[in-house]
Structures are given as structure tokens and as C-alpha cells.
Amino acid sequence: MFAYAIRRIIATIPVMAIVALFVFSLLYIAPGDPAAIIAGDQATPADVERIRASLGLDRPFIVRFVEWAWNVLNGDLGVSIFTNLPVRHMIAQRVEPTLSLMVLTLTFAISFAVPMGVIAAWKQGKWIDRMVMVVAVLGFSVPVFVVGYVLAYTFALQLDWFPVQGYTPISQGFGPWINNLALPAIALGSAFIALLARITRATMLEVLSQDYVRTAKAKGVDQKSILFVHGLKNAAVPIVTIIGLGFAGLIGGAVVTESVFAIPGVGRLVVDAILRRDYPVIQGVVLMFSFVYVIVNLCVDLLYTVFDPRIRY
Amino acid sequence: MKRRSFLAAGAAGLALPSYARAQGASTLRFIPQIDLAFLDPHWTTAYVTRNHSYLVFDTLFGQDANFNYTHQMLSGHTVENDGKLWKLTLRDGLWWHDGEKVLARDCVASIKRWAKRDAIGGALMDATDELSAADDKTIVFKLKKPFPLLPDALGKSPSPMPAMMPERLANTDPFKQITEIIGSGPYRYVQAERVQGSRNVYAKFDKYTPRPDGALDWTSGPKVAHFERVVWTTMPDAATAAAALQNGEQDWWEYPTADLQPLLRKNAKIKIAFPDPTGGVEMMRPNHLVAPFNNPAVRRAFMYAIDQAEFMQAIVGDDPGMFYTPLGMFCPKTPMASEDGLEPLRGKRDYAKVKEMLKAAGYAGEKTVLMVPTDYVTLKALGDVMADTMARVGMNVDYVATDWGSMLQRRNKKDPVEQGGWSSFITGWAGTDHFSPPAHIALRGNGDQPGSWPGWCVSPELEQMRTAWFDAPDLKGQQDICRKMQVQAMHDVPYFPLGQFQTPTAYRSDITGVLNGFATFWNVRRA
């Protein structure tokens, strides 16, 4: 398995190279000119040209790509056209809030959705099953930003339990950290809970109808063990797959959530960069996201072997 | 511990609403209109950068609400040789944030850098034979001809700010950003705490000495900092900003959006004020190179279709106190403003008649590409009204919904619309940008000469009057010229003015001392 993991990590290199070329090309042909944005509304075309030249944006595509790719290979993601700050520094500043939000959302979603799905499967057709399904439909139907606003209005403005916005690094204490992230994580996790609960329920229904479960019941194994030891472990592979896939969805949702709750994360960084055509930042963030996504998929693949020993690499 | 007790304790620990508010009374928490992307005061005309710059940097002259210019970093000045020799003397007690003393040669380098990015600065340098530092405290302008507007230029509040910075930074190419933010203003920029796109922090500069005299107004007078820290938090979502202000997590929101103002007004702990009488002025810029707006008669006819009140209502609502019409070519309620020549903008609109006028002027149904940056709420609303207005008078309008960045790029194209060109675009300005001719680039008539603004209006008369304005002997002379410029502009139609609107600001009612003008942070304190 170790060799497999190494092979997969090495395989990320061509993937990243293709992503890099694709993103660079896409930005090159996309409309919008960072020099014009920097120059502002009052600028004349001559001003824009001077700024473009000073930024090196007037050089041919291939020259710019080779230079950028070489720098990336040397660990340098470049400097933001707008802020003059190193892209690596900008991403590093934003990683913690986004990572915190993701981790908390995943923790929250898994802790609620999996038991919900298991219980719904156990009590199939009963009121509790229907309630779980109603929650799941609601979670799917209501957009993240609406959930965010409702939560902020209720728990921040009306009840004054949580702050409306912002982020406190975990280094300043667990309490303030989670205090800031609780509402965003619930908002972001709402759709994911719905998805995960439904998948868990469907998979568990299939597993619970298997012969070995019937055998376990006949042997007098208690219900908790049947559900969470025999059932859930065997249903885990598709659930883990959905968690991995959902990670990508969470990245998209984080962009909205970070805006609604004013969290200075990577999602907002990339949106701002796209609107400004801050090419080095966009390229850097997309590269990072693609790397993270590849690694998450690798972790999911490796987890399969934990839940299903028949799987070997 | 019982499970229920554990959950209760956990919930209590989780809910720490006061944490966000407990940053101390000595910190002012401010939500800027947009993110502060650029820190260099000379490098950009972004208003948010201008506001940031006035915290960190200082100017030789300050400006009051009546557009008078008084000494700020200066203790005095003399004018000799029939107005061709100016000697400006720096006052005592001026320090850069890096601990060095402010010297005249720093200011000379700063003026030279700023002037390369600023219209009135460029005019000043055109009139200057030699700019030098006679000694550590004396800046000397040897002029080719008298330039009575020198204090106006060096004290102007519209961006880019004529900020002073150390010589080593001021020697940076004006088309490249400075990498250190070192000024001599009342607050120093805390670069280490910057989270780009989210947070900017300023700390009170202990060595700053406010000038001992002068009336405190706008950017003039003694700048006394009361807060130890000013923290700017960018909030991309207006509803979140409003909630944070209501909740007391933030103290001041620079520009509350029109739709959320009624909500804020209901809150007794929030005050909405209008400290900047110049507000915002909006316009549609036609392309003078391509049909149909290359035809002056079409431009003049279309002016009769503009209902400024309709445009303003689209962005600030029905309250007539929130906007001003008719807007001419200069910002209302400022010295150069008048209502001369604005007859086409008065009275009820008769769209059928305008349709006939356009036909008579030679409009033959050419496609009219209207570029609207939809990522700016106000410009989007104005664009919608403009598209409707064009349709009402029978114009073949092609509404191009785009984003700001794409529009700025496309508007530099001079091609016909069939080849990716454009016919008109919507934009907006701070009222101070249209205070007088020097900075008012939309009023230029220099066609497609280098240095001209997209739209490329040709009007030798406007150019002559602009030049004459610099040489006007006094305010009355300047006002006479501006009246004539406005009449000429209504004939040449370099752009279509769409009205002036009030720009509110909202802050917690325990915040006092907010001054006139754009957001400045001296004199502000917590009650």
C-alpha cells in the first residue's frame, strides 16, 4: 500500500502540470485586463499600457508561462499583481480559516448525518425515517446562503449567542475559534448532511437486508452492534466515497459561506482574484485546490482498505 | 458529570457573543466600502486607497468643506517674483513612521512622483521650471508662469492623494507600487497584521504632532487621533455588514447600501449621516468615434431623453432628499457648479418627441452597445434604466452585461461595434472628482490624443476653456469659465450626466466626531 501511495503521489505531478497549463491558458484568453482594473476608471489607454508593461503583461504567452512554470517548480507561486504580496503568503494566510471551516463542517456533518442515516434505515417507513428524509430534502433545497442568513439572524442578531461574522484563529483559544465557526459550519454542512444522510440510509438498507445481518440477529447480537459494527462498517465504502466527493462540493460552498460570514478564507481570496484578474493568485489557488483534491481522493482510496480488507492495492 | 450538564456547559462555552465585541474601547472597527487592494497613495485613483492614505500619510496643504486650502504639513509659505517663486516651509515636529525626520527633499521627491499620476499635478509640473529643496525645511517651486492653484493642487482631496513619503520610497517608479507603507500621518500602517482582502490595521503614531492651529474640517486643521487602533474589516456581503453593525461587532460602516438603510434607521443605536455633501455623480459616456454617438446631433437629441430623477430613484429610492437634479458638468453645491445650459435636462420627458428628434438628427437604427458592469449594484441599476430609456426612444440597444474588469478592458477599443467595439458605458464618480476642470477628465475634448479618456470626445472649445481656467485670476474668473464650459458641454455632449446622489455613512451612536467629507479617522472618538 505504501508503494501504491507513493505511485499515486507521483502521478499527481502530470495532473498538476495539466491543470497549470489549462488554468494559465484559460486566464490568457479570458476577457478582462488587470492593468485596466489597476489603472481604474480615470485612466487613459496610455496609462493602462504603461501599467501593463510594468507588470510584464505585454510579453508573449509562452514567455510568461515558462517563467511562471519555472518559478512554480522552484516553489515560488509569484507575486500578486494587485497587492504586491507573494501568492504563497496570501494563500498561507487564508488556509487556516478555510481548513478550519472544512474540518468543522465535515465533523459536524458526519456526526449528524451518519447516525441519522443509520437510524432512518433501521426505522424504515416509521416517522423517524420520514423526518430524516424531510430534513434531507430541506437541506438540499435551501441554498447555503439562505441557511447562513437565517442562522445569523436567529442565533446572532436575535439570541446573541454567536457573532455575525469574522474568524478567530485557533491559537487565540478554542472557544473563540468555534464560536466564530459554529454558524458557518452548520450553514455549509446543511446540504452535505442531507446528501450524506440519504446515502447512508440507502447503503444501510442494502446492508441490513444481507444474510449475515439476519444471521447476527438470529444469534442474538444486540441492535447497536448490528447497526454500527456489522452494518455501518460494511456500508462505509460508498459513504467514504461520498465524503471525498463532498469535499469538492464543500470547497465551492465555502466560497459562499466565507462571504456571508466574512471569513477571510481561500474561497474569498480566489473570488476576489478572479474579479480582479489577479492571475498569479488564481493560478496559485487553483493549483493548491487541485493538489488538495488529489490528496483527498488518495486518502479515500486508502480508507477503502481499512473498511473493506478485500480491497488491496 | 451528567450528560445534560455536560451539554449545557458546552453550549455556554460555545456561545461567546461578547468575544467579538470585546476588542477594547480603544479600537475603532470600520467596514470600508470595498476591499483595500492597493496601499500606494499615488498609484491608484481608488477611493478606498485615498481613505487609507489619509490615515497614514499627510499632505502639505489641507482642504476644508468650502474648498479652501490651508497649511497642513507646512508652517507657512511665501510667493515672490510675481507669483513665479513659491517657498513652502515645513512645520516642526514632523516624523516619518520609520523614525526619520521629514525633510524637504522627501517632499520634493513625493510631489514629483504624485504629479506623474495626477492631472492637476501634471499641470503644476508643466508650469514648473525647477522644484527643489533649498534646505531641510524649505521646498522651492520656480515656475515658468504663475500658478495660483498650487495650494489647491497640493491639498486636493480627490484621488490620487498628494501624499508625502520618504524620498527612498518616492523615488519608486510611479507606475510601480511602493513596497513599504511609511507616511507621517496620525496613524501608522501595521503591515504585519494585514490579511489581504479582509483586514487592515492602523496604530496611533505616537510621534505625530497635530498642527496647533486651524479649523478642523475635512482634511484640514489639527488631526488628533483618539483611538489607539483602527481596524478595517472588509465585508463582501452588505447584509452581513449591516448585521455586524447592529450587533455591535463593528462601529462604522462606510457606505450602507440603499436597501438596508431603512433597517438601520430603525435601530436607535445606529446613526446614519451624510457627511460628504458632494456625494456621488453618475454618467453615461458615449463613444464619439462610432455610430450613433459619433453624431453630435444624436447626442444632443438623446440628452432630452434623460430623466435624471428616474436614474437616481433606481439607486437611492424615492426620497427626493437623497439625490439632486439637474446635475450639470460640475458637482452641485461646489463653487464651479451652475445651472447654465441645463434646459434639456429640465421638464417632463417626451419620448415620442425625442424619437422624432433622433430621426431628424440622422439616427438610422444603428446598434447601440451599452456596457453595464453588473458587479456594481448602482451601475447595474443605472444601466437598466438607461437601456429602458434607449428602448423608449426607439434606439436599437444591445445591453452588454459585463463585469467591471472586462468593461475597463473593452472600453479602450476604438473599433466599430461589429468588431467588438462599444457605443456607451455607465460609470460613476465621487462628487469631488467633478469639483473643477483639472481632474474632470470626462469633460476633456482632446479626442483620441494620447492621454485622452475612452469615449474620445473632440471639442477644441472645451480644451481652450480648460487651459484658460488655470490662468483665471480669481474665483469669479474660474466660475465664469466653468459656466461657459457647461454650456459648451451641453452642446458637444462629452457625456450624459445622470444625477447626483447622497452617500450615507452609518455608525454606532456612541461614535462621535465624524468629520465632513469622506471617511477620516482623526477627531473620531467613543462617547
Judge whether B24 lies within some domain.
no
Q: Is the pLDDT of residue B175 over 90?
A: no
B464: closest CA of chain A, how far (Å): 20
Q: Is A158 exposed, middle or buried (0-12, 13-18, 19+ CB in 10 A)?
A: exposed
Most A CBs within 10 Å: which of B113, B195, B240, B425, as the mutation test of the A interface?
B240
In order of A82, B112, B135, the CA distances from B105 in angstroms are: 29, 11, 8
- At position B178, the amino acid (one-letter code) is I
Contact B243 A85 (CB under 8 A): no
Q: Is the pLDDT of residue B192 over 90?
A: yes
**Spatial separation of the C-alpha atoms in residues A31 and A34, rounded to whole Å:** 10
> How far is C-alpha B436 from the geometric centre of its chain's CA atoms?
13
> In this complex, is the C-beta atom of A43 within 8 Å of any C-beta atom belonging to chain B?
yes
Band of pLDDT at residue A2, cut at 50, 70 and 90:
confident
Give the pLDDT of residue A306.
Answer: 80
Q: Is the pLDDT of residue A30 over 70?
A: yes
Of B19 and A45, which is predicted with more confidence? A45
In order of B86, B128, B334, the CA distances from B83 in angstroms are: 7, 12, 26
Q: Is the pLDDT of residue B269 over 90?
A: yes
Judge whether B157 lies within some domain.
no
Query: How do beta strands B525-526 and B396-402 pair?
Result: unpaired
DSSP state of A158: I
**Spatial separation of the C-alpha atoms in residues A76 and A84, rounded to whole Å:** 14
Most B CBs within 10 Å: which of A29, A37, A42, A96, as the mutation test of the B interface?
A42
**Of A4-13, B107-116, B150-159, B172-181, where does the model show the most confidence?**
B107-116
Number of inter-chain CB pairs under 8 A, A vs B: 164
A3-17, B253-267, B502-516: segment of lowest average pLDDT:
A3-17
> In this complex, is the C-beta atom of B239 within 8 Å of any C-beta atom belonging to chain A?
yes
**Spatial separation of the C-alpha atoms in residues B70 and A73, rounded to whole Å:** 55
Q: Is the pLDDT of residue B255 over 50?
A: yes
Give the pLDDT of residue B24.
Answer: 64
Q: Within 13 Å of residue B138, how many CA atoms lie on the same side as its CB?
A: 10
Band of pLDDT at residue B451, cut at 50, 70 and 90:
confident
Structure confidence by residue, pLDDT tens digits, B419-448: 999 999 999 999 999 999 988 999 999 998
Of B17 and B498, which is predicted with more confidence? B498
Judge whether B196 lies within some domain.
no
| Maximum Cα–Cα distance across chain A | 85
Of A253, A285, A255, nearest to A78 by C-alpha is: A285
Q: Is the pLDDT of residue B509 over 90?
A: yes
Give the pLDDT of residue B2.
Answer: 53
Judge whether B233 lies within some domain.
no
Judge whether B320 lies within some domain.
yes
Within 21-40 of B, beta carbons closer than 8 Å to A belong to 21, 35, 37-39
pTM: 0.86
Contact B197 A272 (CB under 8 A): yes
Q: Are B329 and B443 in contact (CB under 8 A)?
A: yes
A40-49, A82-91, B249-258, B473-482: segment of lowest average pLDDT:
A40-49
Structure confidence by residue, pLDDT tens digits, B270-312: 999 999 989 999 999 999 999 999 999 999 999 999 999 999 9
Domain with B359, as residue range(s), is 280-501
Q: Which residues of A touch B409 (CB under 8 A)?
A: 31-33, 36
Total structural domains within chain B: 1
A18-27, A263-272, B474-483, B486-495: segment of lowest average pLDDT:
A18-27
Give the pLDDT of residue B325.
Answer: 96
Contact A51 B175 (CB under 8 A): yes
Give the pLDDT of residue B245.
Answer: 97
Q: Which residues of B touch A37 (CB under 8 A)?
A: 404-405, 408
Q: Which residues of B touch A162 (CB under 8 A)?
A: 14-15, 17
B94: closest CA of chain A, how far (Å): 28
Q: Where are the beta strands (DSSP E) in B287-395?
A: 323-324, 367-373
Most A CBs within 10 Å: which of B39, B159, B176, B198, as the mutation test of the A interface?
B198
Orientation of helix A279-307 relative to helix A2-29, angle to 10°? 150
Q: Least CB-CB distance to A277: which of B35, B175, B405?
A: B405
- Three-class secondary structure of residue B490 per DSSP: helix
Orientation of helix A232-260 relative to helix A144-151, angle to 10°? 70
The sign of the torsion formed by the CA atoms of A40, A44, A45, A49 equals negative
Judge whether B199 lies within some domain.
no
Q: Least CB-CB distance to A179: which of B14, B406, B429?
A: B14
CATH number at residue B314: 3.10.105.10
Q: Is the pLDDT of residue A51 over 90?
A: no
Band of pLDDT at residue B1, cut at 50, 70 and 90:
very low
Dihedral, B341, B342, B347, B353 alpha carbons, nearest 10: 70
**At a CB cut-off of 8 Å and minimum separation 6, what does A142 contact?**
A190
Q: Which residues of A touch B46 (CB under 8 A)?
A: 40
Contact B450 A44 (CB under 8 A): yes
Of A46 and B525, which is predicted with more confidence? B525
Q: Is the pLDDT of residue A284 over 60?
A: yes
Judge whether B467 lies within some domain.
yes
Q: Report percent pLDDT > 90 for chain B.
A: 81
Q: With a threshold of 0.95, tell me whether the complex ipTM lies above it.
A: no
Give the pLDDT of residue B22.
Answer: 52
Most A CBs within 10 Å: which of B156, B176, B247, B432, as the mutation test of the A interface?
B247
- Three-class secondary structure of residue A64 per DSSP: helix
Q: Within 13 Å of residue B369, how many CA atoms lie on the same side as its CB?
A: 24
Q: Which residues of A touch B236 (CB under 8 A)?
A: 259, 262, 268, 271-272
Q: Is the pLDDT of residue B157 over 60?
A: yes
Using the structure block, give the residue that is written with the C-alpha cell 497635530. Answer: B210
What b/e readout covers B408-428, taking b as 16+ CB neighbours within 10 angstroms? bbbbbbeebbeeebbbbbbbb
Band of pLDDT at residue B375, cut at 50, 70 and 90:
confident
Q: Report percent pLDDT > 70 for chain A.
A: 100
**At a CB cut-off of 8 Å and minimum separation 6, what does B322 contact?**
B258, B312, B316, B501, B502
Q: Is the pLDDT of residue A204 over 70?
A: yes
Give the pLDDT of residue B16.
Answer: 52
A38-47, B100-109, B129-138: segment of lowest average pLDDT:
A38-47
CA nearest to B45 within chain A? A40
Of B319 and B138, which is predicted with more confidence? B138
CA nearest to B40 within chain A? A83
Band of pLDDT at residue B4, cut at 50, 70 and 90:
low
Judge whether B292 lies within some domain.
yes
**Of A9-23, A170-184, B36-50, where does the model show the most confidence?**
A170-184
